[in-house]
Amino acid sequence: MRRCLELAAAAAAADEVPVGALVVQDDIVLAEARNQVEAQRSPLAHAELLALQQAFVRQGVKRLPGAVLYCTLEPCFLCAGAILHSRVHTVVFAARDPKFGAVRSLATLLEDPRLNHRCVVREGEGAAASAALLRAFFRGKRGADPSLPLPPGPDQP
Amino acid sequence: MRRCLELAAAAAAADEVPVGALVVQDDIVLAEARNQVEAQRSPLAHAELLALQQAFVRQGVKRLPGAVLYCTLEPCFLCAGAILHSRVHTVVFAARDPKFGAVRSLATLLEDPRLNHRCVVREGEGAAASAALLRAFFRGKRGADPSLPLPPGPDQP
């Protein structure tokens, strides 16, 4: 998770919403990515999705059944859907995302008994650091554009 | 939708689950794609996601607020999440997907009032043709491997 937070900080330094993700299997990092929505000019260039796509390219496999995905923010529906298709075993996320989170906040998609795959979910590790990065980033943005939404607060880990 | 079905048929001919998608704006096709899960060896290479990614690359914009996404199968959570982030105005899909569909079958994600974007949804056009393609494809597969799941039937449009 420390490396995830470094990736998130690197995203912020590049003027991207600070989110980082890592795919790990058997203690080996298969892929890592940070949010690249601005760089790629695509709202789909989320850290989790990019890390998974990279893992598939590198491994040449269609599933990652023994993998753990670490990320600094609760995955949204796009990323949670990608996680399910990837058959990732465990997802560890730091801060909750009360607006878009599909794992705990708006839904529990990774544990939905109707779907053909379920993940072990762990949350909280690094939550304060991740929330601090997000808050600082959005505060900076709000300085430039006060119409931007407020980020999750410290009471929303 | 006719072009979408052609793309789905092309997918089947390439031994891919037959799904096609098209992104249209002001009567101009911005992007089209077919399922490429086998070709790319990635479970994330869904037709809808590929078409949206292509549209962003081509247009150099981060949102597609006036666009219509046509697809031959009800989008899953991954693709519905991508559609929401893309701010697509309208989604038209042919056949429902009772196992993975996130627009009508398992959820109504594109019309969720908790999210910051909602789409107009239309369904049914081309449903019989799309379901026939899927059935034929999975029947062929089941011939080779009877353990594969059955596709949606004709009573599941």
Q: How large a percentage of chain A has pLDDT more than 90?
A: 83
Query: How many CB pairs below 8 Å do chains A and B form together?
Result: 90
* Interface pTM, i.e. ipTM: 0.89
For position B157, what pLDDT does the model report? 33
Compare CB distances from A78 to B63, B85, B114 and report the shortest one's residue. Answer: B85
Mean pLDDT of A126-132: 96
**Contact at CB, A44 and B85, closer than 8 angstroms:** yes
Cα(B97)–Cα(B148) distance, rounded to whole angstroms?
16
For position B148, what pLDDT does the model report? 52
**Contact at CB, B114 and A102, closer than 8 angstroms:** no
Residues of A taking part in catalysis: 48
Cα(B31)–Cα(B40) distance, rounded to whole angstroms?
18
Residues of B within 8 A of A100 (CB-CB) are 115
Q: Does residue B111 have an active-site annotation?
A: no
Mean pLDDT of A75-80: 97
Q: How large a percentage of chain A has pLDDT more than 70?
A: 90
**Global pTM?**
0.90
For position B155, what pLDDT does the model report? 39
DSSP assignment of B1-35, as one string?
A: -HHHHHHHHHHHHTTS---EEEEEETTEEEEEEE-
**Confidence class for position A154, pLDDT limits 50, 70, 90:** very low
What residues of chain B score a pLDDT lower than 70? 144-157
Residues A6-37: tens digit of each pLDDT: 999 999 999 999 999 999 999 999 999 999 99
For position A141, what pLDDT does the model report? 81
Mean pLDDT of A78-91: 97
Task: Classify residue A98 by burial, with Cβ atoms within 10 Å: 0-12, 13-18, 19+.
Answer: middle
Q: Which of B48, B111, B123, B125 is an active site residue?
A: B48
**Contact at CB, B85 and A41, closer than 8 angstroms:** no
Residue in B16, B77, B109 to test binding to A, most A beta-carbons within 10 Å: B77
B64 closest CA partner among B121, B101, B103, B117: B117
**Confidence class for position A140, pLDDT limits 50, 70, 90:** confident
**Contact at CB, A77 and B109, closer than 8 angstroms:** yes
Query: Closest chain B residue to A81 measured between Cα atoms?
Result: B78
For position A153, what pLDDT does the model report? 46
**Confidence class for position A144, pLDDT limits 50, 70, 90:** low
Rounded to the nearest angstrom, the minimum Cα separation between A49 and chain B is 9
For position B44, what pLDDT does the model report? 95
Compare CB distances from B62 to A43, A79, A102 and report the shortest one's residue. Answer: A43
Residues A35-63: tens digit of each pLDDT: 999 999 999 999 999 999 999 999 888 99
Compare CB distances from B106 to A82, A85, A114 and report the shortest one's residue. Answer: A114
For position A79, what pLDDT does the model report? 97
